[in-house]
Amino acid sequence: MDTSGTAGLVREVCLGLPEVNERLSHGAPTFFVRGKRSFVVLWLEGHHDDDFPHLWCAAPEGAQAQVVEDQPRQFFRPPYVGHRGWLGVRLDRDIPSDELVDLCEQAYRVVASATLLRRLDPKNLG
């Protein structure tokens, strides 16, 4: 997957969510809800021992272990945030765009307030 295209897709999806902003955090583009809680971090040049393009994203409780076990070539437990259940997602392997969109939206749902979630879809909070 082209990482510049991937970065553009992630940026478009994340910034399209209510009250999200982007700023560098530890040298990486990071997306925050209301400027406070991060939910996606892009490491396009890799990070420490993980020298491949990837992102870290918040994940629902219990999802990390199952996803990493089921698809260890695509997903991993990232350093620093892995203990909080976040997922590492390899971007140097084929990952469908719709799956990447779902991961970003799901990460937002993990950290956003109920008020912001209602703004996403008032009929179906899912």
**What total number of domains does the chain contain?**
1
Residue 10 is assigned to a structural domain of this protein: yes
Report in angstroms the alpha-carbon separations of 68 from 1, 13, 75, 114: 20, 23, 5, 28
How much is the pLDDT for 5? Answer: 86
pLDDT higher than 60, residue 23? yes
Q: Residue 12 and residue 100: Cα distance in Å, rounded?
A: 12
Residue 126 is assigned to a structural domain of this protein: no
Residue 46 is assigned to a structural domain of this protein: yes
Confidence class of residue 105 from pLDDT cuts 50, 70 and 90? Answer: very high
* pLDDT tens digits, one per residue of 31-49: 999 999 999 999 988 888 7
Length in residues, the chain: 126
* CA 8 centroid distance within chain: 13
Strand 87-90 and strand 37-43: the pairing is: unpaired
Is the separation of the CB atoms in 21 and 30 below 8 Å?
Answer: no
Domain of 92 in residue numbering reads as 3-113
How much is the pLDDT for 48? Answer: 81
pTM summary value: 0.91
Q: Residue 75 and residue 111: Cα distance in Å, rounded?
A: 20
Radius of gyration of the chain (CA): 14
Confidence class of residue 125 from pLDDT cuts 50, 70 and 90? Answer: very low
* pLDDT tens digits, one per residue of 48-81: 877 899 999 999 999 999 999 999 999 999 999 9
Strand 75-76 and strand 87-90: the pairing is: antiparallel
Residue 48 is assigned to a structural domain of this protein: yes
Q: Averaged over 88-107, what is the pLDDT?
A: 95
